[in-house]
Structure 1
């Protein structure tokens, strides 16, 4: 197929645009001793802080909790249902955790907001998550600009950013890597092992983020920021306690999601904790066949986070998270799958993830002005375990388990230099993965060699400064090293032979970004960013019999690292009524690791140069204080430069256009929007043409009409009722490359209570 017609594309784009810790922390420091008398009934007030800090905290909470009595005991912080403002502008959407210690906790590792950054970014707030009634991460990030959410099975989700997914998109939880050394090529399930009920907000940066975060960040980076007890409120206004309950019900799959949270602060310590249960049944699609079999599962999750103030300028955080799914079928391999063209799916070949499990524990030390060389310091030590047991057959005839334990430490420090010299951010990351791979039944071996290990280390330096009164520059450099070892089984003269390998990879990458202030409301931005991804254990060593529907991945021992360069230019507007981001980008990936055919239903991998280019636009226009017109549009074109073929699973051009109304005082909202996606018939001949998740001839285009509404009730707006009506026309559709068909007409009912 010919390359895109950029003139036509530009016209459509213009038209749419116009329509719109560390464990060594000093634990022996004195607690903050309360010396100030209580100013509110039954509220223990903490020691006085400086007037500027107190004023800042009060203003922040008045913004986040726009109630008549924002500091009363009945109106605790953090859990209130409103947003900072009904329609926050780009400058008000800040990266990082809420509170006093947020300087280097966000995805940019140095603070900042969407408008002043050169990055192509998105922040999905907790209010947006509530309006979406997000019961999993698939729904939490769906329809955001430049991101396509794919799922091979219900209960799984794989975000595509700028045409890339899996190993080439880095996912973080509170700045700790979710990606590990067995993260697979292409779509995988791991993003959905996060409970949206614990999420404060989502941060997305599209484009290479390897300088700040290291390997895998070629297509982009997602940082999931979890909820915390509100230290800022505790220091400013005293002790508090609160609880909340959320219940959602979806008619399409008769699913029920229940989540309860508790939160409180006392003295120098605060705690946030919660747990959820999610029961899902078979999905009713918009197709004539009705419910899709193999889309049911159970899920539960729990988490707790403790913040302890060592003194007014330092804090220790301890966080624990657990997530588990049980008896989750792989939908495209279940009997009755609508895309099963040769009726090969049988109960004896049905595949399940049972269980799919994730555990995260970390200890974090944060300090403001810890010494003369640092304005803010964050040190995190972490333990991350991801375990999945893939079974086959009813009853089970074989199983293969992959259990990866990752320990890590990362540190980042920022320092404002002398006037006119800007700010330095420096840090390092170290992670070590150990793999256990038991197997049994009819399985002939593990997917990844047992006792394999993978170790990565990186150190970076980033410098932001004002070159002129209007031009800001940010530049950085990183050194990255990866070391690994394992004993995969490979064919030698037709005989399966264990072969020990111990390669290591290293590289330097750099980044430069520019922000030019046309005026106070318009910024022109540009970035040149390098990315680096060394082969991981899955690339090099996997013997995976779960590829496509009946495919088998073989080890590829001679792979070299991927190296990318992304060029992008954009414009951001942050007027009182108009907020937009527009980007055009081009990415060259040298030695891109792609699948190649090794035999009948057998695949290995090779390094082949590739390129990806596209455009992205999202914006919102405020018609008045309560009404807004909003939307986004994005287009991606990917090509294998050596074969001339399309890259696998490139998303079709798509976007949304909507109208919404929000009443800040009543906490009410109504939103209607159309989601439109074009046909995708540019298919990779190696993996796409034989993939039953993609219909013959390509994935058809579609448009769905959707409505969301909600209202809060009670003296303190402690009750909220919400309703979402999705796919009002009952349109049959399929997200490109997904094993789960699109939801037919459905109603989502929600109730939330906050004390």
Structure 2
């Protein structure tokens, strides 16, 4: 198996060998031009240069997403420092993302600034969001509830799908094939004219897949290939009827139908169907030269259906959010953001029940299916020479849990024009899910929200060709929800400390770009002293990218240390190292080909006990751009 995969991969790469002879050999001088600093919004709820952010932020750009090959969004996130992930056997299955060691449901996932964490599972449906539908991703690490409310204990992942359409008409198309009988197709357009801005994109993918489980899985193993297919449609339309006065409409619809292994004692082509819908209507109004108002209504629905031999269940979360945000420019270097948000959540579940003789009973729903939240947020940012300040304050009033005030305070000082030191402190919280509170027979309606207190300090150097960063942090989480070993019910039992340090570097040398990062993490359950499960204490990443005329060649290496699959730290998941290679060739400014070869050495590794991961796999993509 390994030999055939390797030979296949070399054959694919060799197909492009003749093109190298005709490629330009002159240096690509454009890569030597200093890159413009990106605008990010997640760190302060309004646009600011990335270099001015007081915190640890990463932006994954569109080019990286478009060249992802077979990778899922979780795969791409897992290559960023401070993030680990585990899937249950493929991109179609449930994926857990751990940011700075926090639990998977303690990271807030936003889609164009709107929360999409399901109210039943607490997770964001990352498996339903194809990379081809995304313009870029902003990652904010550390507790951020004072900006966005519940669930942001570990940080925030803001997935932004709308492109910058303040440009003439443009279009694109992609078609690719790869290992496991995988094929992907995407196309889209965007532009602006006469006050109108618009975008429309669509994608489709299918794969024969690989077996999601192995024989170590005592409950779910089924020796079959678990295929999947997915489709996505997204678009936006806006009209600026007067300078500074704009109304807009946005849609996002995504669905993935994938094979899973559910019950080894009832072999069946078990399926998981995950859908995610978002519809948004907004009005942006420049009231005065210093006051911008944005009104927005957003509807989202996250639905997961599991089809097995003896059951067909669906869990759904609907969220209606109404928001009014005001950006006030107090002075040239001072801004105040004031926002009000109202969130209605409603859930439904097809929950099986059993009679006294253990025969199947009727399908039932949660005891409670609705709750709402009102929130007021204020964020101040200011620059005073070498001094930089950000302060945020928020109060969430949940219909069940009452008030939850949170705050954040960050200060930065420019030691030199390119070197900044900063320190930040903030608080966070997470409300219990409907599963925690109301799942029949396995819930506790008396649960309290989890709470956190985070402190971090860092040094960041930004030059024309060099970026260096060092961050240390400690996040104390209390009232963690865990299952009581005596009652088997969720209880606010545990306390945890998430302590760590991250080093990262980027260096551009002409046509060569080098990147590296190292994560040192100690995520501990304070009550037992155990390492939090599925989280490694050390992760190292390194990559290199080289421009050779019309060619772009790259290589990546990632090492993930030992982890434990269970909270008792009895099931060891060994460390592993992965090597990936990339190559791209531009035929001209419109057409190109990209190749991504993952797990070059065909390593066998484990992210979750009893679940498989992909072997060596290759994906070839042909792209067209206007």
For Structure 1 versus Structure 2, the TM-score category normalised by the shorter chain is: 0.7 to 0.9
Query: Aligned to 1:417, what secondary structure does the other structure show?
Result: strand
User: In the alignment, which of 141, 148, 154 is matched to residue 213 of structure 1?
Assistant: 148
The aligned residue for residue 470 of structure 1 is 386
Matched residue, 2:482? 594
Number of the residue aligned with 1:673: 556
Distance 1:507 1:659 in 2: 45
- Which residue does the alignment assign to 1:517? 414
Bigger shift: 643-652 or 632-641? 643-652
Q: Note closer, same or farther for the CA distance 1:87–1:523 as it changes in structure 2 (3 Å cut).
A: farther
CA contact (8 A) 2:519 2:540 kept: yes
| Counterpart check, 1:366 vs 2:284 | yes
Distance 1:541 1:192, change over 3 A: same
- Answer yes or no: is the 8 Å Cα contact 2:89–2:212 preserved in 1: no
Q: Is the 8 A contact 2:280 2:297 kept in 1?
A: yes
CA contact (8 A) 2:590 2:624 kept: yes
| Partner in structure 1 of residue 37 of structure 2 | 92
Which residue in 2 is equivalent to 1:310? 241
Deviations 1:331-358 (A, max 9, x none): 4x46xxxxxxxxxx233587532x2111
- Structure 1 residue 708, shift from structure 2 partner: 0.5
Whether contact under 8 Å (2:519, 2:539) holds in the other structure is: yes
TM-score relative to the length of structure 2 = 0.87
Residue 594 of structure 1 deviates from its aligned partner by 2.4
Pairwise CA distance, 1:375 = 2.9
Structure 1 counterpart of 2:230 = 299
Q: Which residue of 1 aligns with 2:9?
A: none
Contact 2:70 2:178 in 1 (8 A): no
Q: Is the 8 A contact 1:598 1:604 kept in 2?
A: no
Deviation digits for residues 442-470 of structure 1, max 9, x if unmatched? Answer: 8646686166102112111111223x521
CA contact (8 A) 1:209 1:218 kept: yes
Aligned residue among 533, 538, 542 for 2:430: 533
Q: 2:503 aligns with which of 617, 639, 658?
A: 617
What is the rounded CA distance, in whole Å, between the counterparts of 1:711 and 1:399 in structure 2? 47
Matched, 1:150 2:86: yes
Measure the CA separation in 1 of the matches of 2:365 and 2:250: 29
Q: How many residues align?
A: 587
Return the TM-score normalized by structure 1.
0.73
Alignment match, 1:224: 159
Q: Choose which of 131, 139, 162 in structure 1 pairs with 2:67.
A: 131
Match of 1:272 in 2: 199
**Corresponding residue to 2:604 among 719, 722, 732:** 732
Deviations 1:65-101 (A, max 9, x none): xxxxxxxxxxxxxxxxxx99748979712214xxxxx
SS at match of 1:183: coil
Helix, strand or coil for the counterpart of 2:563?
A: coil
Shift of 1:140: 3.0
Residues 90-114 of structure 1: per-residue CA shift (max 9 Å, x gap): 9712214xxxxxxxxx453121133
Q: 1:186-210: per-residue Cα shift (whole Å, max 9, x none)?
A: xx57112212212110000010111
> Please, which moves more after superposition, 573-582 or 171-180?
573-582
Contact 1:134–1:140 (Cα < 8 Å) also in 2: no
Q: Contact 1:211/1:530 (CA < 8 Å) preserved in 2? A: yes
Cα 1:351–1:259 shift into 2, 3 Å:
same
Residue 109, structure 1, aligned to residue 45, structure 2: yes
**Comparing 654-663 and 630-639, the one that deviates more:** 654-663
Contact 1:116 1:515 in 2 (8 A): no
Shift in alpha-carbon separation, 1:443–1:267, aligned structure 2, 3 A: farther
CA contact (8 A) 2:500 2:519 kept: yes
Aligned to 1:160: 98
RMSD: 2.9
Q: Measure the CA separation in 1 of the matches of 2:156 and 2:140.
A: 5
Counterpart CA distance in 1 for 2:573 and 2:34 is 36
Checking the alignment, whether the CA contact within 8 Å between 2:109 and 2:124 is kept in structure 1 is no
User: Which string of whole-angstrom CA distances, capped at 9 and with x for unpartnered residues, describes residues 400-443 of structure 1?
Assistant: 221222111122222121467x2211112221011232467986
Cα distance in structure 1, aligned partners of 2:431 and 2:449 = 4
**Correspondence for 1:263:** 190
Q: Quote the Cα distance in structure 2 between the aligned partners of 1:153 and 1:411.
A: 41
Q: Tell me the alpha carbon deviations over residues 135-167 of structure 1, each in whole angstroms, 9 at most, x when there is no partner.
A: 531233231111112212421333210112432
Cα deviation, residue 527, structure 1: 0.6
Matched, 1:557 2:440: no
Alignment of 1:398 onto 2:304? no
Match of 1:248 among 176, 179, 189: 176
Deviation at 1:296, TM superposition (A): 1.3
Query: Which residue among 642, 656, 661 is the counterpart of 2:546?
Result: 661
For residue 283 of structure 1, report the CA deviation from its aligned partner: 2.4
Judging changes above 3 Å, is the alpha-carbon distance between structure 1 residues 305 and 84 closer, same or farther for their aligned structure 2 residues? farther
Counterparts in 2 of 1:399 and 1:683: CA distance versus 1, 3 Å: closer
Task: Tell me if the contact between 2:303 and 2:317 (Cα under 8 Å) persists in the aligned partners.
Answer: yes
Contact 1:711–1:720, Cα closer than 8 Å, also in 2: yes
SS in 1 for 2:484: strand
Instruction: Specify the alignment match of 1:570 in structure 2.
Output: 458
Q: 1:287 Cα deviation (Å)?
A: 10
Seen in structure 2, the aligned counterparts of structure 1 residues 621 and 228 have a Cα distance that, compared at 3 Å, is: closer
Aligned residue in 2 for 1:684? 567
1:627 pairs with one of 512, 515, 534: 512
Give the match's secondary structure for 1:516.
strand
Query: 1:720 and 1:162, CA in 2 relative to 1: closer, same or farther beyond 3 A?
Result: same
Q: Secondary structure at the match of 1:92?
A: coil
Higher strand share: 2
In structure 2, the CA distance between the partners of 1:446 and 1:92, relative to structure 1 (3 Å rule), is farther
Partner Cα distance (1:222, 1:87) in 2: 30
Q: Determine whether 1:706 maps to 2:580.
A: yes
Question: 1:428 maps to what in 2?
Answer: 340
Q: Distance in 2 between matches of 1:461 and 1:725?
A: 46
Q: Are the counterparts in 1 of residues 43 and 57 from structure 2 also a CA contact under 8 Å?
A: no
